[in-house]
Chain A
Amino acid sequence: MSNAATHAGTHDHDHSHDHHDHGGWTRYFTTTNHKDIGTMYLWFAFIMFFVGGSMALLLRAELFSPGLQIVQPEIFNSLTTVHALVMIFGAVMPAFVGFANWLIPMQVGAADMAFPRMNNWSFWIMIPASILLMASFFVPGGAAASGWTLYPPLVTQGGIGTDMTILAIHLLGASSIMGSINIITTILNLRAPGMTLMKMPLFCWTWLITAYLLIATMPVLAGAITMLLTDRHFGTSFFNAAGGGDPTMFMHIFWFFGHPEVYILILPAFGIVSQIIPAFARKPLFGYASMVYATAAIAILSFIVWGHHMFTVGMPAAGQLFFMYATMLIAVPTGVKIFNWISTMWRGSMTFETPMLFCIGFLCMFTLGGFSGLVLSIAAVDITLHNTYYVVAHFHYVLFPGAIWGLTAGVYFWLPKFTGKMYNETLGKWHFWISAIAFNITFFPQHFLGLAGMPRRIPDYALQFTEWNQISTVGAFLLGASQLIFLYNVVTTIRSGEKAKDKQWEAADSLEWTHLPSPAPYHTFETAPVIK
């Protein structure tokens, strides 16, 4: 402990004259620099994205035709479970935290994050967590196979892999909470003089709200999975009717976390898109204030809609109606956001570089995901679609073009600022068009499968579902392949990209573009800029 403190102490003295040499190979273990940590978060997320994606391709390969071909049903169940956990906790959330680390201090004019050492810790804690999660495949009994929702009593049947998953989620949750505390404190306390809250770039706003959601819900999840752990090992009966508990209670607690979690996965993407569209429309974001209010409204509503994940547990009519109305209401602020983005484009002067293409793709596909969300919000219609492929299609429509394309757009947009080098525009466009088409081939047919009644999380299916499943699988492999173009483009940019301009995008107006060179120096805004 004292060692670390001393080390960090010397480090503090160093940094005014020494910017890049921080003790060789240990640099990344001990770094407290927000840009280093941001980079590590982004690479970690990128790797996990490919890990989770490979699992999805295994699932799609098994579903290419009816019958069992590639994996045993219990392995299939483990793959669906871990695919979801890896993508949510390993890819999307860390990627957003990576962007937050890189961008928030620069965008509010701060020198670094508020708690640099906690920042280091919140990254490194994810490594043992992800090792636990992945290693659970190789222990007796295999990885958790209950679906990522971990419903008891099924989850109590799992082996030690389930316990490893629970501990991994605990660690990842702790990491998220630390990250959130850091982000909230940075935004509320370290803004440059004149940077009022309502002048902040929207990315900072959406992250501020997301961080509050995380702090409010992660402990709830931690509580739920701790109860699972004690039910499994210490003879408690929180979720066991035989001991006076109730499996339905787990669902209530889980989804009280789970629904805000959905917005945790999308709100920062809203922020990224809200910065990129104005930059390429060469016109300020339409309705800035209403965008902030809409984000807050979505966040608040997200706490009272969890029951729509449970319309089939047999809740009373009053419960169904309440959750149905509350869920429908979410369409209003979400609609406001879509309309504002379109109005930002309206009477603009648009060009269509890769980040903008991904944002337009985001807008189109997210709107479709919103429509299927509206359909699912109707309790009666949900009865016929609950736990079918329609739901799978719905949440992939909001999360892949939503979270993933938001992140992808962000990578292309800020890579010149992060690395000082410009990515290959041609490859970027190939990446966009192939992903856009492949995404729709993969997931659009899943709406039809769900409507026709194909349940989710099954390794094998009735013959009438064959055709759409085959199309979906073909699309999935194409989609996977298109991400390799992305990887190649990012790596070659870093190694041999052309030099980027300080202000690569002429109409980008946040501080990292207007005040800083490309690449952004190791330490920025040691003297706070003054914002007019």
Chain B
Amino acid sequence: MKKIKNSSIWAGFVALALALLGFMTPALASYDVNIPPPATPISTQIYGLHMYILWICVVIFFIVFGAMFYSIFKFRKSKGAQPDVNFHESTLIEIIWTTIPFVILLAIAIPATKTVLDMKDASNPDMTIKVTGYQWGWRYDYAAEDVGFYSNLATPWSQIGQPGETAPETKNPDYLLEVDNPLVVPVGKRVRLLVTSNDVIHGWYVPQLGVNQYGIPGFIKDVWFRADKAGTYKGQCSQICGKLHGYMPITVIVKSDADYATWLVEAKTKWGSKPAVAVAQPAEEDTSKKLGLAELKADGEKVYAANCVACHQANGKGMPPAFPPLAGSKVVLGAASQQIDVMLNGRAGTAMQSFAKLSNSELAAVITYTKNSFGNSTGVLVQAADVKAARK
């Protein structure tokens, strides 16, 4: 018996030492332990509710663990404790410890109910934005304005790297949380989001705004927030949505009314007069120019690296069968019109989405690039005008 006890004490010590070692490994870093600072009335309520429940749990923790460890130290056989075998039934005690938790729950339920009701009340919005998730990015359409744009991950793949190789570039401080075109909203306004999806379920999740809403294909769900402080708020897709689920961040910039108005003017020149559906391009795009193979390929390679490489891979071999190879592909080697059609409309039932959001010259370049790379040598050139003609 004695031997067993000694060994157990030693086991405890060694395990504790290992634990401390574990905690010491990374020196000097960010050890966030709580919900980030709230920025809306709802997320402020959520933050408060969480702290309130946490403290209730802490109190219960000390009572429960106190009773347990008191028993463990007091009522041990090695200290000569005799079992009180008759102490095993008490209706009164059972009733007490059924009732008290119930009362505690009521004390939690009342403020929680208020928050839920506030949160679900999306009425009287100052503005409405449609949010569409797709594999793998977001699109924002401002309901009352002529503005709609895509918002994609801005972190380059050269920072992310590949299994087995070190990423060639060092990671930005905003690694995986940076987007090309953030959502911009005015401060202090009730913003109503109509959230949906183009393909699979996504989750539009920005903790500081107190919003986490699934976008469900074929359905529109509404949710709202009112940011009371100007600033930048970050989030990510919260629902697994395929290969690049971890790579579709959200950035919301909350601006003062004046700054927002300035932004809106710029946004309209950049994205205005675009139909809500993902087509068309800046009016001034010149599609009449004919480019040579070298130019098209050079442009195309950039477009490929930004849009295609994650699935079809840098060597064009893809990852079959979900992501088929482009090297030797029938479509790529076949008629240009067929490939343009796939690029503009996607392929139903596969991960290949529509890339109609790209400009005509970008599409022309990338198609030409695939037709003349990875061992494909069709010599076929596709010009921006061809793509333009194929768009309805």
- Point out the residues of chain B lying under 8 angstroms from A69, CB to CB: 161, 163-164
B127 within 8 A of A: no
A476 to B222, CA, bound (A): 40
Chain A nearest Cβ from B87, distance in angstroms: 5
A522 within 8 A of B: no
Known contacts A345-B68, A368-B61; 17 further A-B pairs (Cβ under 8 A) = A71-B163, A74-B322, A145-B242, A153-B199, A159-B321, A290-B94, A314-B195, A317-B117, A332-B101, A339-B64, A342-B64, A347-B83, A384-B35, A441-B23, A453-B236, A466-B29, A474-B22
A426 to B9, CA, bound (A): 10
- Point out the residues of chain A lying under 8 angstroms from B162, CB to CB: 68
- Point out the residues of chain A lying under 8 angstroms from B76, CB to CB: 349-352
B319 within 8 A of A: yes
Asked if B243 and A73 sit within 8 Å, CB to CB, the answer is: yes
Between A and B, 9 residue pairs with Cβ closer than 8 Å are A67-B160, A73-B243, A312-B213, A335-B98, A342-B71, A383-B210, A387-B205, A453-B236, A461-B176
- Point out the residues of chain B lying under 8 angstroms from A147, CB to CB: 240
Q: Which 6 residue pairs of A and B lie closest in terms of their CB atoms, listed nearest first? A: A241-B218, A314-B221, A458-B246, A317-B120, A347-B84, A380-B115
A329 within 8 A of B: yes
Asked if A380 and B85 sit within 8 Å, CB to CB, the answer is: no
Closest to A353 in B: B4
- Point out the residues of chain A lying under 8 angstroms from B390, CB to CB: none
B119 within 8 A of A: yes
- Point out the residues of chain B lying under 8 angstroms from A480, CB to CB: none
- Point out the residues of chain A lying under 8 angstroms from B236, CB to CB: 453, 455, 458
Contact of B246 (CB < 8 Å), options: A73, A378, A438: A73
Asked if A287 and B94 sit within 8 Å, CB to CB, the answer is: yes
B60 within 8 A of A: yes
- Residues 46-91 of A at the B interface (beta carbon under 8 Å): 66-74, 77, 80
Asked if B34 and A383 sit within 8 Å, CB to CB, the answer is: no
A470 within 8 A of B: yes
Asked if B11 and A429 sit within 8 Å, CB to CB, the answer is: yes
Asked if B101 and A331 sit within 8 Å, CB to CB, the answer is: yes
Contact of B46 (CB < 8 Å), options: A329, A380, A425, A453: A380
A380 to B35, CA, bound (A): 13
Asked if A66 and B171 sit within 8 Å, CB to CB, the answer is: yes
A363 to B236, CA, bound (A): 35
- Point out the residues of chain A lying under 8 angstroms from B203, CB to CB: 312, 386-387, 455
A436 to B15, CA, bound (A): 9
Asked if A451 and B205 sit within 8 Å, CB to CB, the answer is: no
- Point out the residues of chain A lying under 8 angstroms from B239, CB to CB: 151, 312, 387
Contact with A along B97-120 (1 / 0, CB 8 A): 110011001001100110111011
Contact with B along A466-487 (1 / 0, CB 8 A): 1110110011001000000000
Given A153-B201, A342-B67, A371-B57, are A388 and B238 also a contact pair (CB < 8 Å)?
A: yes
Closest to A463 in B: B175
Interface centre among A324, A347, A380 (most CB of B within 10 A): A380
A284 within 8 A of B: yes
A335 to B350, CA, bound (A): 48
- Residues 320-360 of A at the B interface (beta carbon under 8 Å): 320-321, 324-325, 328-329, 331-332, 335-336, 338-339, 342-352, 360
- Point out the residues of chain B lying under 8 angstroms from A316, CB to CB: 120
Which DSSP category, helix, strand, loop or mixed, fits chain A's interface?
A: helix
Using CB atoms and an 8 Å cutoff, list the residues of chain A in contact with chain B. Answer: 66-74, 77, 80, 140-142, 145-147, 151, 153-154, 156-157, 159, 240-242, 246-248, 281-290, 312-314, 316-317, 320-321, 324-325, 328-329, 331-332, 335-336, 338-339, 342-352, 360, 363-364, 367-368, 371, 374-375, 378-381, 383-384, 386-388, 425-426, 429-430, 432-434, 436-438, 440-441, 448, 451-453, 455-464, 466-468, 470-471, 474-475, 478, 507
- Residues 16-45 of B at the A interface (beta carbon under 8 Å): 16, 18-19, 22-23, 25-26, 29-36, 42-43, 45
A480 to B46, CA, bound (A): 36
Given A69-B163, A328-B105, A448-B33, are A314 and B214 also a contact pair (CB < 8 Å)?
A: yes
Chain B nearest Cβ from A70, distance in angstroms: 5
Chain B nearest Cβ from A286, distance in angstroms: 5
Given A345-B71, A386-B238, A475-B22, are A437 and B116 also a contact pair (CB < 8 Å)?
A: no
B89 within 8 A of A: yes
B317 within 8 A of A: no
Asked if B242 and A154 sit within 8 Å, CB to CB, the answer is: yes
**How many A-B contacts at CB < 8 Å in the complex?**
367
- Point out the residues of chain B lying under 8 angstroms from A282, CB to CB: 77, 83, 85
Closest to B24 in A: A471
- Residues 177-217 of B at the A interface (beta carbon under 8 Å): 177, 195, 199-201, 203, 205, 207, 210-214, 216-217
Chain A nearest Cβ from B391, distance in angstroms: 23
Chain A nearest Cβ from B303, distance in angstroms: 22
Contact of B98 (CB < 8 Å), options: A286, A332, A368: A332
A375 to B49, CA, bound (A): 9
- Point out the residues of chain B lying under 8 angstroms from A346, CB to CB: 67, 71, 75, 87
Chain B nearest Cβ from A463, distance in angstroms: 5
Asked if A68 and B163 sit within 8 Å, CB to CB, the answer is: yes
Asked if B68 and A342 sit within 8 Å, CB to CB, the answer is: yes
- Point out the residues of chain A lying under 8 angstroms from B8, CB to CB: 352, 426, 429, 433
Given A331-B105, A381-B53, are A350 and B77 also a contact pair (CB < 8 Å)?
A: yes
- Point out the residues of chain A lying under 8 angstroms from B102, CB to CB: 332
Contact of A453 (CB < 8 Å), options: B78, B84, B218, B235: B235
Given A157-B242, A314-B221, A364-B65, are A378 and B108 also a contact pair (CB < 8 Å)?
A: yes
